[in-house]
Amino acid sequence: MPMQNIIDVDQFDVRPVENQLTLSKWYEFGNAQSAKESGLTEAKSQYIVLFGASVTGTSLVQFIDMLSSEHLTFISLCAFKAHDDLPIGIAIEVCLQHLDELSKTAVRQAAQTVGCQGAILPSLPQLLKPGLLVMDMDSTAIEIECIDEIARLADVYDEVASVTAEAMAGKLAFSDSLYKRVAKLKGIELSLISPLKEDLPLMAGIKPLCEILKSHDWRLAIASGGFTWFAEALQVRLGLDHVFANTLEIEDQKLTGRVIGEVVDADKKAQVLESLRSRYDIGAGQTLAIGDGANDLVMMAAADLGVAVHGKPKVVEQADAAICDGSLLQLLYFLTVPMPDGIKS
């Protein structure tokens, strides 16, 4: 990778990194040349991204020092602006064969130590190229779990929660859990839950994120274990291309306590992503999936980049990257890393 800008991280000071580097410009670490000569950089690069808060030069040095025990070869770094409303992000190119030894947990913990968030990106989707985002709905695109809120309104929350606990303990498959929970909702009148549908609390940043992605020819979809009754309302608000969710049976303006049609479970979510990838001829590296629960892991693994959003510990651990705090607009950090010289965008 041709790069003439050599950086000595020991010369960083307490000022924000963006005051010490030119934005969107890649700087080569001083040891990168010896790594090239030894053949360590022949493998495909991967990228560590620091995001979510302003990073000072001294904090960046501290972060790098904390990861030195992981036997990483640091190749280059770049400060970049993902969005006007977000702090400057830092991308660090590292050698692949060393990255295999680096746990995602170590990166997150090192980032937290310097007051920000961190992730390793196995893929660099590009905002400026058409792509596909498939997202979970409950506790991902919106702040609530719809079935829990319905249960609260109908005063059957404890009964529904007990079934949820069984599922989380591995005693019930997702479909069985869904059927048992929905059965508790039998007889609830739509008039009771209509206000919830009309005023779903959006997760912070989801609306501007969708607007930005759509303006760059991305396709957007929800694949949810929740319900079409809510997902279709969200589709209108966010301008989504598709929604896939479970259908509540309704008779005489009341819930019957049954789900009709195919259940949207973990495997179905992954199938949705693959189907839409093929339908819209999405290019390699351009699919993104986000979610918070174990039911999203198969879909996230099928995507080029799977991101846990305020996720359960297991999901954060297994996802490619995680946003554990703050706005969903931060997904733009993962889509706007400038491509280094010699790397095709």
Q: Which of 136, 265, 304, 320 is catalytic?
A: 136
**Helix H or strand E segment including 259:** strand 254-260
Confirm if 50 and 334 have CB atoms less than 8 A apart: no
Confirm if 203 and 140 have CB atoms less than 8 A apart: yes
320 is catalytic: no
Q: What angle do CA 131, 317, 132 make, to 5 degrees?
A: 10
CA atoms of 177 and 195, how far apart (whole Å): 26
Confirm if 288 and 125 have CB atoms less than 8 A apart: yes
Q: Which of 138, 265, 296, 320 is catalytic?
A: 138
Angle formed by the axes of helices 104-113 and 57-67, to 10°? 150
CA atoms of 197 and 191, how far apart (whole Å): 10
Confirm if 266 and 174 have CB atoms less than 8 A apart: yes
Half-sphere exposure of 162 (CA within 13 A, CB side): 6
Token representation of residue 220: 């957007």
Task: Classify residue 17 by burial, with Cβ atoms within 10 Å: 0-12, 13-18, 19+.
Answer: buried
Token representation of residue 308: 């846990």
The position carrying tokens 């997202």 is: 135
Radius of gyration of the chain (CA): 22
Confirm if 152 and 193 have CB atoms less than 8 A apart: no
Within 8 A by CB and 6+ apart from 168, the residues are none
Sign of the C-alpha dihedral computed for residues 226, 230, 235 and 238 taken in this order: negative
Q: Residue 255: helix, strand or coil by DSSP?
A: strand
138 is catalytic: yes
CB atoms within 10 A of CB 314: 12
* Active-site amino acid positions: 136, 138
